[in-house]
Amino acid sequence: MMTADTSLRGRKPRVALMGEFSAGKSTLSNLLMGARPLPEKVTATRLSPVWISYGDDAPYRVDMDGTTEPVSLEQLEGIPVDETRVIRLFMQSDILQVCDLIDFPGISDPNMASTVWERMLSEVDAVIWCTHATQAWRQSEAAVWETMPQAVRDNSILLITRYDKLINDRDRLRVLKRVKRETAGQFGAVFPVSLLQAIQAGEDYELWDASGAGPFTQHLIDSIETLQDLSSRTDEALYNYADDTPIPAPVVTPVMPRRVQRQTDTPRPARPATPDDGNPTPDAPSGQIIRTS
């Protein structure tokens, strides 16, 4: 059983992007950060895990003994995978102000040993797992997910990506119900989404909402806030034993990304309720999501 890093307190949550090859992880990272973190010709499927944080520091690699070495963005694919624990990149993206993202290679790549990504799992606090709608939640995915600690599962999200590839509403509902049944209790939430449609929506709220990105990003914000709250607590109550005066834990103020912000005071027009697909009803006046990028 793999165990999660228990030193969450005092640092940003670390959210992993995981799934099998061609499940939409690259599109997801583009959606969340508002730009590609890697050069156009470079794909994360051929790399060691890529850990992305806020800032403008130069990229570097961390080898197996912890030694660091500067790297060039244009030559990332030349980095030896078997000798590299993780590649560190930095971007000034809104979401990276509240969490770090770790982009994992596809778990099903026959040309990459599973140890390449398994050695980074101990750093992860939550996962956004992408599963392709036309072959959703394969046995190989379930086998890997079974190794995850419950604490990580509780804060993780399963995305059924490329949902628009399913032909009709009946097929979509059937797939969603099956995946929810097979993953019951294993994720904090399950959402169907078309990531490409969400990116293409631009400032069109209706298209953004129709893509499924609205409920997903709302839940993601909630999950990040939960993890931020955990990071502000001590493992046990801190006391000054000389006078039994509690020492307050540091306060973490959530900073929401501009691309996915919570709207609490400006109502939006109500829309008809969607079919029973497991998503939240979108016409509540509070706790809504707006996109302002």
Sheet (strand 157-161) strand order: 68-70, 60-63, 84-91, 50-54, 100-103, 14-19, 126-132, 157-161, 189-192
Residue 256, classed as helix, strand or coil, is: coil
Q: Is residue 268 part of a domain?
A: no
Query: Can you read off the two tokens belonging to residue 9?
Result: 């307190």
The structural domain count of the chain equals 1
Q: Phi-psi category of 208—alpha, beta or left, where left has phi over 0 and alpha has psi -120 to 50? A: alpha
Residue 145, classed as helix, strand or coil, is: helix
Residue 163 predicted with pLDDT over 90 = yes
Residue 95, exposed/middle/buried by CB under 10 A (0-12, 13-18, 19+)?
buried
The per-residue pLDDT for range 208-246, each reduced to its tens digit, is 999 999 999 999 999 999 998 887 763 443 334 444 544
pTM over 0.85: no
Query: Can you read off the two tokens belonging to residue 70?
Result: 């500067």
Residue 129 predicted with pLDDT over 50 = yes
CA distance 198 to 22: 17
Q: Is residue 269 part of a domain?
A: no
Q: Is residue 198 part of a domain?
A: yes
pLDDT of residue 236: 40
Range of the domain at 123: 14-229
Q: Is residue 44 part of a domain?
A: yes
Give me the CATH number covering residue 76. Answer: 3.40.50.300
In the chain the first and final C-alpha atoms are separated, in Å, by 41
What is the pLDDT confidence band of residue 22, given thresholds at 50, 70 and 90? confident
Q: Is residue 217 part of a domain?
A: yes
Q: Is residue 58 part of a domain?
A: yes
What is the pLDDT confidence band of residue 285, given thresholds at 50, 70 and 90? very low
Q: Is residue 290 part of a domain?
A: no
